């Protein structure tokens, strides 16, 4: 016997910002707001510099979020503050945060991967919009 049932293991992240740099910063905040219940509980004590080459904005966003998720998975780093500069050659960013402290940080979603599904970065009128689906 078998049955079919609806199941989704995904979460959509959407960011809107007037500037492209801010869009990438807000997208990163959105990722970590999905990972930890209270993003304000993450102190900006450690700074990590990340550089990514590329000129396709969608792939750049994907690689940016994937690198941040890798830092969380491999190094148990939570980030809450970001300074991003996007240029025609890629991205340079400082991510500020701290090591996961289970006594202070309550995890919300287990984000397993950033996906290409419906990934987009577009200018819409006077703002930039980014959408990405994460596998949870």
Q: Is residue 82 part of a domain?
A: yes
Distances in Å between the Cα of 119 and the Cα atoms of 2, 47, 55, 58, 133 are 33, 27, 15, 7, 7
Q: Is residue 64 part of a domain?
A: yes
What confidence tens digit (pLDDT) does each residue in 72-126 have?
999 999 999 999 999 999 999 999 999 999 999 999 989 999 999 889 999 999 9
Q: Is residue 127 part of a domain?
A: yes
Q: Is residue 26 part of a domain?
A: yes
Name residue 11's beta-bridge partners. 134
User: For residue 64, what are its two tokens?
Assistant: 């940016």
| Residue 103 domain boundaries | 10-135
pLDDT score for 29: 95
pLDDT score for 35: 96
CATH code at 50?
A: 3.55.10.10
User: For residue 90, what are its two tokens?
Assistant: 């890629």
Q: Is residue 30 part of a domain?
A: yes
pLDDT score for 10: 83
How many structural domains comprise the chain? 1
- Sign of dihedral through CA atoms 106, 108, 111, 114? negative
What confidence tens digit (pLDDT) does each residue in 7-61 have?
466 888 999 999 999 999 999 999 999 999 999 999 999 999 999 999 999 999 9
Distance CA 20, CA 10 (A): 25
Nearest to residue 91, comparing CAs of 121, 132, 112?
121
Helix (H, G, I), strand (E, B) or coil at 51: strand
> Structure pTM?
0.92
């Amino acid at each position: 016997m078998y049955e079919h049932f609806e199941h989704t293991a995904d979460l959509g992240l959407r960011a809107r910002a007037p500037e492209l740099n801010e869009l990438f910063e807000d997208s990163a905040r959105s990722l970590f707001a999905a990972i930890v219940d209270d993003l304000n509980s993450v102190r900006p004590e450690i700074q990590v510099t990340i550089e990514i080459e590329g000129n396709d904005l969608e792939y750049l966003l994907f690689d940016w979020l994937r690198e941040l998720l890798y830092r969380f998975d491999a190094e148990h780093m939570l980030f809450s503050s970001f300074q991003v500069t996007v240029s025609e050659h890629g991205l340079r960013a400082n991510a500020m945060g701290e090591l996961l402290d289970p006594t202070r940080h309550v995890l919300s979603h287990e984000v397993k991967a950033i996906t290409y599904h419906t990934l987009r970065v577009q200018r819409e009128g006077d703002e930039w919009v980014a959408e990405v689906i994460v596998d949870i």
